Amino acid sequence: LETVHRRVWRGVTSNTISPVESEKQVSAGNRVTLSCSYTGSNVALYWFRQYPSSKLDNLLYIFEDGEIRGSPPPGFSAKVQNKVVSLEISSTAVSDSALYYCAWRPTVNNNSAPLYKNLQYDEV
């Protein structure tokens, strides 16, 4: 498996999200966990994947209470604990080599409808 990266999206509020590690390398067939720490509360936490020269794919989103929405690919799971959102790939394949993005969006009662339109992102 080639290098797996994460980048960070930030909203236009004071909440932040940033990767715990900026890069991971793992051999095919092994388990890998990608993690981002965040501040704030009442947020939906998103994981995206991007292959070279391709658009972002929304893998899933998860609320702080652990409720997952979306349809993660087989072998992918997510969890939230102590202000850290993690994406786990149980058995990596070469096809998992990509850029992985973590992002957050404010919510109201676990409703992830957009509260604002403009997102900014920072490359990490």
Q: Is 113 exposed, middle or buried (0-12, 13-18, 19+ CB in 10 A)?
A: exposed
Q: Specify the pTM.
A: 0.76
- The count of other CB atoms within 10 Å of the CB of residue 74 is 7
Q: What is the pLDDT along the chain (124 residues), one digit of tens a residue?
A: 333 444 444 544 568 899 999 888 899 999 999 999 999 888 899 999 999 999 999 999 999 999 999 989 999 999 999 999 999 999 999 999 999 999 998 876 555 554 444 445 555 4
Which residue(s) pair with 102 in the sheet? 8, 47
Q: What is the pLDDT of residue 82?
A: 95
Angle at 59 between CA 37 and CA 78, to 5 degrees: 45
Domains along the chain? 4-108 (2.60.40.10)
**CA–CA dist 39, 17 (Å, integer):** 7
Q: What is the pLDDT of residue 13?
A: 55
Residue with tokens 């409703």: 111
Q: What is the pLDDT of residue 113?
A: 52
Residue with tokens 């799971």: 77
